[in-house]
């Protein structure tokens, strides 16, 4: 074989290898381009996610502080409720000290006024109990109306 034929064969083989290498390089360049786009998209997504995570962490911190503040207010209000309930119970007990319940007081036909009830109670104190006239702050009817003879039996019930 002569040298020129070998040169031609070598050049043909070089051209074939070069073409194959260029195809491989072009495919690799395309894959690298796609990978760069994917990596770029992933970087943007991670940056966005990190920003959102930071915002959420900030919100969580604010909510925890707010929750702590609200819990403090709730605890204060609960303690105030306990104090107010105790004061209310004391006031109710104190107000009942001067109360008398008289049952069986007959109701007059028609409208029975406060003055009529007061007069009836004062009359019972004077006639039945033989007590001197005392200051009556309020007199009003409660519950069912009973007969007069029940009054003597249930006077201090």
Residue 112 is predicted with a pLDDT of: 63
Per-residue pLDDT of the chain (157 residues; tens, 9 = 90+): 689 888 899 999 999 999 999 999 999 999 999 999 999 999 999 999 999 999 999 999 999 999 999 999 999 999 999 999 999 999 888 777 777 777 777 776 665 677 777 788 888 888 888 887 777 777 666 665 554 433 333 343 3
Which pLDDT belongs to residue 123? 84
* pLDDT confidence of residue 133: 74
**How confident is the model at residue 103, as a pLDDT?**
72
d(CA 45, CA 40): 9
Name the maximum alpha-carbon separation found in the chain: 159
How far is Cα 80 from Cα 77, in angstroms, rounded to an integer?
5
Asked if 151 and 110 touch (Cβ cutoff 8 Å), the reply is no
The residues spanned by each domain of the chain are: 1-97, 114-154
Q: Write out 123-140 in H/E/C secondary structure.
A: HHHHHCCCCCCCCCCCCC
The residue among 116, 96, 94, 115 whose CA lies nearest residue 106 is 116
The model carries a pTM of 0.42
* pLDDT score for 145: 52
Position 27 scores a pLDDT of 96
Helix, strand, coil percentages (3-state) for the chain, rounded to 5, are 75, 0, 25
């Amino acid at each position: 074989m002569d040298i020129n034929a070998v040169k031609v064969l070598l050049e043909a083989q070089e051209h074939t290898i070069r073409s194959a290498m260029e195809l491989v390089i072009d495919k690799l360049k395309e894959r690298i381009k796609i990978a760069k786009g994917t990596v770029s998209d992933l970087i943007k997504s991670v940056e966005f996610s990190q920003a959102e995570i930071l915002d959420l962490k900030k919100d969580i911190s604010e909510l925890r502080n707010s929750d702590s503040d609200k819990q403090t207010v709730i605890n204060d209000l609960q303690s105030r409720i306990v104090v107010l309930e105790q004061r209310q119970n004391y006031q109710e007990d104190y107000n009942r000290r001067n109360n008398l319940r008289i049952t069986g007081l007959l109701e007059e036909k028609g409208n029975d006024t406060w003055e009529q009830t007061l007069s009836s109670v004062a009359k019972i104190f004077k006639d039945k109990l033989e007590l001197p006239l005392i200051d009556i702050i309020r007199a009003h009817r409660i519950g069912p109306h009973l007969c007069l003879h029940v009054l003597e039996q249930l006077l201090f019930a």
